[in-house]
Chains A and B, each alone.
Chain A
Amino acid sequence: DIQMTQSPSSLSASVGDRVTITCRASQSISSYLNWYQQEPGKAPKLLIYAASSLQSGVPSRFSGSGSGTDFTLTISSLQPEDFATYYCQQTYSTPQGFGGGTKVEVK
């Protein structure tokens, strides 16, 4: 199975900050990488698919990059509604596992 490792597991930031979350795959997954945002008590929300494609309706402050084994989710200017937990997911092979999550908290 491909292991997905996210870092950091949590971070504290302020509104307006630039935030970067990384995700590393245990083997190459090309660009088969999605990013999701999850608020407490809610279903995950797709932000980025295929490593760098912005899902329709998602604000442009979110961006994704990377290929192979190393990927990044960037929030260019953190907004109050962005305090949540973020997960990466590989869809290269079954099981299409998720990273452990990164909780973005108020500083």
Chain B
Amino acid sequence: QVQLVQSGAEVKKPGASVKVSCKASGYTFTSYDIIWVRQATRQGLEWMGWMNPHSGNAGYAQKFKGRVTMTANTSTNTAYMDLSSLRSEDTAVYYCARGRSSSAYWGQGTVVTVSS
């Protein structure tokens, strides 16, 4: 069965970087894009960007350009989302999901807390 398993919770100081992983199983990893979505506490869903594990191509929401990098390791079927220059407003649950046109499979979410 398709599964996306994300890395554990992170606590970071302002200005630091965080790298969240998303390990895929149960399907051909290079056949589907991975998207990243975040959700601050009691807030809505915010689309961050997508990446294609086969080509390495990625596209980011303008809001995150220059701060986010989405990559993948096809030998381990793992996608990564790297967010730098963290600020308190980046405190949120970060989700990976499979597929760009529609996302039927999601990771369990990774809580990232930014606090001094």
Which residues of A are interface residues toward B (Cβ below 8 A)? 1, 32, 34, 36, 38, 43-46, 49-50, 55-56, 87, 89, 91, 94-101
Q: Contacts A43-B107, A95-B61 given: A49-B102 contact, CB under 8 Å?
A: yes
A101 to B101, CA, bound (A): 19
Which residues of B are interface residues toward A (Cβ below 8 A)? 35, 37, 44-47, 49-50, 59, 61-63, 95, 97, 100-104, 106-109
A94 to B101, CA, bound (A): 11
> Smallest distance from the beta carbon of B1 to chain A beta carbons, Å?
12
Q: Contacts A43-B108, A46-B104 given: A95-B47 contact, CB under 8 Å?
A: yes
Total number of residue pairs linking A and B with CB closer than 8 Å: 61
Question: Top 3 nearest A-B pairs by Cβ distance?
Answer: A43-B106, A49-B102, A95-B61
> Smallest distance from the beta carbon of B5 to chain A beta carbons, Å?
12
Chain A residues whose C-beta falls within 8 Å of the C-beta of B106 in the assembled complex: 43-45
Chain B residues whose C-beta falls within 8 Å of the C-beta of A38 in the assembled complex: 45
Q: When the two chains form their complex, are residues B45 and A87 in contact, meaning their CB atoms are under 8 A apart?
A: yes
Q: When the two chains form their complex, are residues A91 and B95 in contact, meaning their CB atoms are under 8 A apart?
A: no
